[in-house]
Structure 1
């Protein structure tokens, strides 16, 4: 019998140790995800280090009615995780010279009332516009879905602001609906088309889409669910689910791995544009785990993150850019919010407790 060489023996032991470690790590994540396992609304989890997936896994069901399981290719409605794409579209157009972040919003949307005169695109990006929440302007019993243009029409009739633009922070879905309309005006094509041609297609995000009913489709779609009287019920759409700029993008963890990779180099945004997008523009003093807001990103220490909340779905992406480490958790259930879960998953791989 031929004995293995010392080098081969060491290599075999190292490989075996890596396999054992990976298996143990997956088991630890599986334990954290046990409530998403089985015949229940599920989740997709992605852990990336240096662009490589350390974990890429689906749990539970994407479609309870049809019994279809969640896979890494399942597309979830990202809800407010969509805002980073809306922001990137605006920044891309600024790079192209088609607009300036310091443009007044009324340059592009002149039907807004005069009270909006001081608001710039940068204010919209950073939730410092003072715009009144469009959701509060809708009829309480509204059933028909509103779209981005309907958000504009609601705000056209509102002659007050919460505060002087640039003087404070208030999270604004309406601001991002307006940004989507501005992308359309500045680019000469629809918002969904611009995202496809300038972001999704170049990055190989083949199944990511800003979904428009009757125009586009969502492949491998996860449907939202809510727990009602102890039973899971499909609750996939609400009256605001068709607004694209603030939350209408569907994507998978496989496609989001490509998005994450593009945030480290200049294939999409220049170094200067990325630095600007990831900078703390609006301080936030009354929210845990948030120091301030950039362009479509919450900022806390070295961490960039954003959550997404929609009827029947909760999502989060958490990035440690200096460590080239990212955790994504996408779910198709109304509760719980997965940010803390993502941090627990990160702790398994970053035992030195990354600053947050």
Structure 2
């Protein structure tokens, strides 16, 4: 087979926006489709499907190509692909579920659960305890192993335990730095089985997949309707060749799950909802705090080939990669690559938006196109930062500052909401503002914007005056009752205003 035939070259299917976010986004679905269609053409991918997601679920789906040349039907959100290392987020959630039920502790030594494990310490590495948390966060010291581990998916458990008993060598001291280890996640799969009393995939199906109605997701490809399974390909000297399917085995916890765009949209929506007080999608026994714990940097990544001028931090959480970006805020996600498949999911917690894409070509590199799509959504202003709720304490400070500006001679309201230390901090850079001077410079108050909360105890707002504007940054103290500890003022005396 010299070239995969695409019976419908543009083959783009479009979903219907189902939320207020989706209605705003509907005007930019065409550019997103064009972006992924261009990727499809340039990178010669047999089939590509993508979806835009918010915390309510799948907003839009597009596709190019076909699942298999012998089946000329167009790819849809229902077609199933191996998602490879995106599986790690499900494995990590299973471990946290067991932790939340006191079945294990993240501080447990790995050998407490895998007593057959023999860790071989090289002469320059001091022996130390290897923990479950270190496996989760890719700080175990196990060597990066993609070229080897991707072919071990079907390894029987008996062979896996024999491998552990023979001995595992370390590349770095445990806890000393980031190193991506599929073996570590295979070990987590066996730990989960022993802590739960049944296989990891059973735990995931019962506690995650079924409650989220991810009915197409499975570790056993034999369970997938043949008409919905995307066949995996590799490009060999210009010719498309089918990649043999790897069976589920002991390494399934690191990359064996298969899923669809429709199902993965539910998973991303669950994670987005963890950053809201009232999520639209939730599972009672999956704690939002545990989902947010997965999205914290537990091991920093700092390598020249992964730096970017707009990234202020990047690292690995629990089964997820995390980056902090000057424009996009917190970026959470994971890539996947196995023989026959490539995948990427990524979401922005500050903007309540995500993108998921699946391809049926070996190791399709999808990270850049997904990031470009999210950047487009933010740069065009079609998604905005989800506002935080304003606490009652912050609102009282807000009202007191407004009252004090309007009548600088009466500071009773300010003294009621401020800590004693607020009035003592007289350094030039931290001196409390003189409201009399501010009022004489800027004139009467015309209007005040709502508070933009940055947390429960800090926020900012702008006051529009007759001769310019003032932006107030308030920070409350940690003690109860929470009172003002610092007020910063950004003055724009020449800004245009109503005179």
Pair 1:256-2:272 in alignment: no
1:308 to 328, 336, 340: 336
Output the TM-score relative to the length of structure 2: 0.60
Q: Partner of 1:222 in structure 2?
A: 230
Pair 1:70-2:81 in alignment: no
Q: Distance in 1 between matches of 2:152 and 2:252?
A: 17
Deviation of 1:285 (Å)? 0.5
Output the TM-score relative to the length of structure 1: 0.83
> Match of 1:33, SS?
helix
Unaligned runs of 5+ in 2: 1-21, 121-126, 275-281, 308-312, 325-329, 384-499
Post-superposition Cα deviations, 1:186-240, rounded to whole Å, max 9, x if no partner, equal 11111111111111011111111122x6xx5123211111111212111143599
Q: Partner of 1:198 in structure 2?
A: 207
Number of residue pairs the alignment of both structures matches: 331
Q: Distance in 2 between matches of 1:27 and 1:352?
A: 11
- 1:1-356 to structure 2, matched below 5 A, reads 22=26, 25-26=29-30, 28-30=32-34, 32-34=36-38, 36=40, 41-115=46-120, 118-132=129-143, 145-147=154-156, 150-158=159-167, 160-211=169-220, 217-219=223-225, 220-237=228-245, 243-263=251-271, 264-265=273-274, 267=283, 268-286=285-303, 287-288=305-306, 291-301=314-324, 302-334=330-362, 336-351=364-379
8 Å contact from structure 1 (residues 51, 324) kept in 2: no
> Match of 2:96, SS?
helix
8 Å contact from structure 1 (residues 106, 117) kept in 2: no
Deviation of 1:270 (Å)? 1.4
Unaligned runs of 5+ in 1: 1-17
Q: Partner of 1:4 in structure 2?
A: none
Query: Quick check: which has more Rg, 1 or 2?
Result: 2
Q: Partner of 1:14 in structure 2?
A: none
Greater length-normalized contact order (CA 8 Å, ≥ 6 residues apart): 1
Q: 1:147 to 1:309 in 2, by over 3 A?
A: farther
Q: Distance in 1 between matches of 2:356 and 2:148?
A: 33
Q: 1:61 to 1:137 in 2, by over 3 A?
A: closer
Q: Distance in 2 between matches of 1:86 and 1:21?
A: 32
